[in-house]
């Protein structure tokens, strides 16, 4: 293998740049030419492909976002779009691909490999931590710490005014961010997609709030079965029906995607990026390079996409016990 390419796709995540850097410098160390594809699959289709040097990735390990940009591509979902992407890769004589992204990125990579056979290895870049085959995904730790910093500040004002805050964090299908923020931030309740939310229990506790606590923090994953934070707050407020209790909502939104990656994310991204290049050279393909129990593992895309990553039961128990 003489030439490989790297791209980022889907939602951006802190640490993607560290992963790009690791891919580029590992490839150069192995005496392989490496190309960067801008704007994900869309850039692949349109030929936004440029050769990268070691200096191309200087001073980026600490930066959030992605220097290769990211985009979602409707055209790549079509056979015609994928054929155009293949033709662009062959034009540049690219023999292997490193795809940094999440579930959608890996789904596209799996189909592309099955149709055209270009060896592809993925790196798990998503803040949601919902990809099977790795203990943590690139960007998750940073997103949790960003959200937790905001929750700590909100708790100050909640306590000062005896308010009940519903704080919405990202997680349309996954409660990992909400759960870790809830534990780290001392939340009284955490509402996540993986479990059924018991609003009756929440209402009962809040009605008795002034007997034990003057304020409360409730962390809501955006994909909770009862709705987003605004909708849940209104349901709870109506049932509590106490004019003395003040309810507030804060949606943290896209601040969770940005910012300098933590050391943990930089190291994880670097390990996955290096493993992806080494995996291509050792004959691995159509799989993701992740880290499980401290060791690099290669998991087939079919498993990454098809299997559900379970939440840790002891984390759920911690919320129940520590919120008393």
Q: Which residues are tagged catalytic? A: 128
Largest CA distance in the chain: 71
| Binding-site annotation: residue ranges for substrate | 126-128, 163, 170-172, 222, 248, 254-257
Q: Classify residue 62 as exposed, middle or buried by CB count within 10 Å of its CB (0-12, 13-18, 19+).
A: exposed
- Name the one residue in this structure whose structure tokens are 């930066």: 63
The token pair at 234 is: 């209104």
Q: From CA 245, how far away is CA 284, in angstroms rounded?
A: 58
Distances (CA, A) of 38 to 9, 72, 169: 9, 12, 29
Annotated binding site for ADP: 21-25, 155, 186-188, 211, 213-215
Closest CA to 4 of 204, 220, 29, 265: 29
Query: In a 10 Å sphere around its CB, with 0-12 CB exposed, 13-18 middle and 19+ buried, how is residue 4 labelled?
Result: buried
Please choose, from the candidates 47, 30, 56, 39, the residue with its C-alpha nearest in 3D space to the C-alpha of residue 92: 47
Please report, in range form, the residues annotated as the binding site for Mg(2+): 103
Binding residues: 11, 21-25, 72-73, 102-105, 126-128, 155, 163, 170-172, 186-188, 211, 213-215, 222, 248, 254-257
Only one residue has tokens 């592309």, namely 112
Question: Which residues contact residue 108 at a Cβ distance below 8 angstroms, ignoring those fewer than 6 apart?
Answer: 9, 41, 73, 76, 77, 99
Going by the annotation, the residues of the binding site for ATP are: 11, 72-73, 102-105
């Amino acid at each position: 293998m003489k030439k490989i390419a790297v791209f980022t796709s889907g939602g951006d995540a802190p640490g993607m740049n560290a992963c790009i850097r690791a891919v580029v410098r590992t490839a150069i160390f192995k005496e392989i030419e490496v190309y960067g594809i801008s704007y994900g699959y869309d850039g692949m289709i349109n030929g936004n492909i440029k050769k990268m040097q070691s200096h191309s990735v200087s001073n980026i390990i600490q930066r959030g976002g992605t220097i290769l940009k990211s985009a979602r591509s409707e055209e790549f979902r079509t056979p015609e779009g994928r054929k155009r992407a293949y033709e662009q890769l062959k034009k540049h004589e690219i023999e292997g691909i490193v795809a940094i992204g999440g579930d959608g990125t890996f789904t596209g990579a799996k189909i592309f490999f099955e149709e055209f056979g270009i060896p592809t290895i993925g790196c798990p870049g998503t803040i949601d931590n919902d990809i099977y085959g790795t203990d943590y995904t690139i960007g998750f730790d940073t997103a949790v710490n960003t959200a937790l910093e905001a929750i700590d500040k909100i708790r100050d004002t909640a306590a000062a005014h005896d308010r009940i805050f519903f704080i919405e964090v990202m997680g349309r299908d996954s409660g990992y961010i909400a759960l870790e923020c809830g534990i780290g931030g001392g939340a009284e309740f955490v509402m996540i997609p993986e479990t059924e939310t018991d609003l009756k229990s929440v209402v009962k506790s809040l009605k008795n709030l002034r007997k034990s606590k003057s304020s409360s923090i409730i962390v809501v994953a955006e994909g909770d079965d009862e709705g987003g934070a605004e909708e849940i707050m209104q349901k709870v407020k109506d049932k509590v029906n106490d004019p003395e209790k003040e309810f507030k909502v804060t949606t943290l939104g896209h601040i969770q995607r940005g910012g300098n990656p933590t050391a943990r994310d930089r190291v994880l991204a670097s390990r996955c990026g290096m493993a992806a290049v080494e995996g291509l050279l050792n004959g691995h393909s159509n799989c993701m390079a992740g880290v499980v129990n401290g060791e690099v593992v290669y998991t087939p895309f079919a498993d990454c996409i098809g299997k559900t990553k379970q939440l840790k039961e002891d984390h759920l128990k911690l919320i129940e016990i520590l919120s008393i």
